[in-house]
Structure 1
Amino acid sequence: MKFRFLLITLITLTSCYNIERNCKDYKTGTFYSEVTIDSMLYKSEFTRTTDLQVETYNGKIDSSQVRWINDCEMIFKTINPKSRAEHKDIHLKILTTTDSSYSFEYSYVGEKLKQKGIAYKK
């Protein structure tokens, strides 16, 4: 009897916890993002269409092709890379969404080290 009560309680509590992910709302638009790496905050602004993202960081403009894997994951490929690091594709996954922002994690394709950040609609 105790087991049945515990099981029902557990199912009830876990069913109430749904992470909101309305990723389609963030496929296109103008955003700014904040990423903290080693206690340093990095901010950038970007505009995304379904297949292109143009980002401004520290006064420099960078363009990437966007390939959507599914509604919440995409791969960025830098257009006209200038360094060896820019040749590597970046995988980004939207983790959660709100009405005006989304949290994400990203890494170079094939690497385990992931960074997290938040992007806000402008």
Structure 2
Amino acid sequence: MNKLLLLSSLIMFCSCYQIERDCKQFKTGTFTSTIRIDDVDYISTFKRNDLIQIETFEGKTDSSTVRWINDCEVIFKTINPKNRAERKDVHLKILTTTDSSYVFEYSYVGEAKKQKGLAIKSK
């Protein structure tokens, strides 16, 4: 009886807390993203549609093709890579969303090291 009460309490507690992930609204638009690496914030802006993302970072602009795996995960492939690192595809996963932003993690495809960031959609 005690185990049943504990199990039902856990189920009720877990069902009350759901992370919001309404990723569809972030597939297209204009965004500003912030990534913190070693206590330094890196800020970029990008515009994304169904096929391409154009990103500006530190005065340089890059374009990538966009391939959505599902509503919350996408693969970016640099269109004109200039070095070996740019030839690697990037996997991005949206972890949580609000009405105007999302928290994401990303890594090079096949690599275990992941970074996190925040993207805010422009109105």
1:3 deviates by 1.7
d(CA) in 1 for partners of 2:81, 2:7: 54
**Letter aligned with residue 42 of structure 1:** Y
> In the alignment, is residue 16 of structure 1 matched against residue 16 of structure 2?
yes
Task: Give SS of 1:6's match.
Answer: helix
Aligned position for 2:66: 66
1:34 Cα deviation (Å)? 0.3
* Structure 2, gaps ≥5 residues long: none
Aligned equivalents of 2:89, 2:4: Cα separation in 1: 49
SS of residue matched to 1:112: coil
- Provide the rounded CA distance (Å) in 2 between the counterparts of 1:5 and 1:110: 43
Residue 7 of structure 2 is matched in structure 1 by: 7
2:29: which partner in 1?
A: 29
**Matching of residues 1-122 of structure 1 within 5 Å:** 1-122=1-122
For residues 42-70 of structure 1, the C-alpha deviation after alignment (integer angstroms, 9 at most, x for no partner) is: 00000000110000101110100001111
Once residues 2 and 18 of structure 1 are traced to their aligned partners in structure 2, the CA distance between those partners, rounded to angstroms, is 26
TM value normalised by structure 2: 0.97
- Secondary structure of 2:105's counterpart equals strand
Question: Identity, % of aligned pairs?
Answer: 66
For 2:111 and 2:4, the matched residues in 1 are separated by 44
1:14, CA displacement in angstroms? 0.5
Give the paired residue count: 122
Which one-letter code corresponds to 2:61 in the other structure? I
For residue 9 of structure 2, give the secondary structure of its aligned residue in structure 1.
helix
* Deviations 1:87-115 (CA, angstroms, capped at 9, x unpaired): 10000000010001000000000000000
- Structure 1 runs (4+) deviating above 4 angstroms are none
Alignment RMSD: 0.7
Could you tell me how far apart the structure 2 residues matched to 1:65 and 1:120 are? 20
Q: Give the TM-score taking structure 1 as reference length.
A: 0.98
